[in-house]
């Protein structure tokens, strides 16, 4: 592979210091808002909204299937309530995930099934967030800038090769 075969927006290995974490659909274009960042954001917004609308149609067909099967009004109401509640929880958890890392990863794993049922809420959260920024950009930008500041601080405190420094009046015994 040549140097030019890397995908656009991926960090180069030659840059010193911390590297930005890639975001799904954006790579590392979120750092400088280059490489078609605006088009990607528009594409993600349109794509997530289209997927949410398509999912609503699929759920509507499933509900019509329940009506055709004549399972009763209570089952229909339970299905609607289940998808509504799961979508609301999935929206909230997805939205919180854009702003902070999960405190308890095991709890997030336990909610994975619930978020799968409420996938429309996750798609809508993705759509709403992509109207202002790449989903998760603010969190990753904060972490990246903090890591860069720490790297620069560590780097600036080092001055030269410590082995080349002159001894301060003491002589060290030679190792034999």
How far is 118 from 87, CA to CA, in rounded Å?
4
What are the angstrom distances between the C-alpha of 25 and each of 29, 30, 42, 47, 102? Answer: 9, 10, 11, 11, 21
**If pLDDT is split at 50, 70 and 90, which confidence band does 12 have?**
low
CA atoms within 13 Å, Cβ hemisphere of 105: 1
Query: Quick one: pLDDT at residue 70?
Result: 85
pLDDT beyond 70 at 165: no
Query: Quick one: pLDDT at residue 2?
Result: 39
Query: Quick one: pLDDT at residue 109?
Result: 87
Query: Quick one: pLDDT at residue 4?
Result: 43
How far is 10 from 44, CA to CA, in rounded Å?
18
pLDDT digits (tens, 9 = 90+) for 22-65: 998 898 899 898 989 999 999 999 999 999 999 999 999 988 99
Query: Quick one: pLDDT at residue 5?
Result: 42
Query: Quick one: pLDDT at residue 3?
Result: 41
What are the angstrom distances between the C-alpha of 48 and each of 81, 91, 129, 155? Answer: 23, 13, 11, 42
Please say whether the beta carbons of 52 and 124 come within 8 A: yes
pLDDT digits (tens, 9 = 90+) for 77-125: 999 999 999 999 999 999 998 988 888 888 888 889 888 999 999 999 9
Query: Quick one: pLDDT at residue 54?
Result: 96
DSSP, collapsed to helix, strand or coil, labels residue 27 as strand
């Amino acid at each position: 592979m040549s140097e030019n075969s890397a995908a656009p927006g991926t960090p180069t290995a030659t840059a010193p210091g911390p590297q930005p974490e890639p975001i799904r659909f954006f790579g590392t274009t979120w750092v400088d808002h280059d490489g078609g960042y605006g088009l990607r954001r528009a594409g993600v917004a349109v794509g997530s909204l289209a997927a949410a609308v398509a999912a609503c149609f699929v759920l509507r067909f499933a509900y019509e299937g329940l009506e055709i099967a004549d399972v009763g009004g209570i089952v229909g109401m339970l299905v609607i309530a289940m998808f509504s509640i799961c979508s609301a929880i999935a929206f909230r958890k997805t939205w919180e995930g854009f702003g902070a890392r999960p405190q308890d990863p095991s709890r997030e794993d336990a909610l994975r099934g619930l978020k799968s049922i409420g996938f429309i809420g996750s798609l809508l959260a993705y759509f709403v967030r992509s109207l202002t920024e790449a989903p998760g950009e603010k969190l990753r930008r904060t972490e990246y800038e903090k890591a860069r500041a720490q790297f620069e601080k560590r780097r600036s405190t080092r001055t030269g090769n410590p082995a080349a420094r002159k001894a301060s009046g003491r002589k060290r015994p030679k190792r034999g």
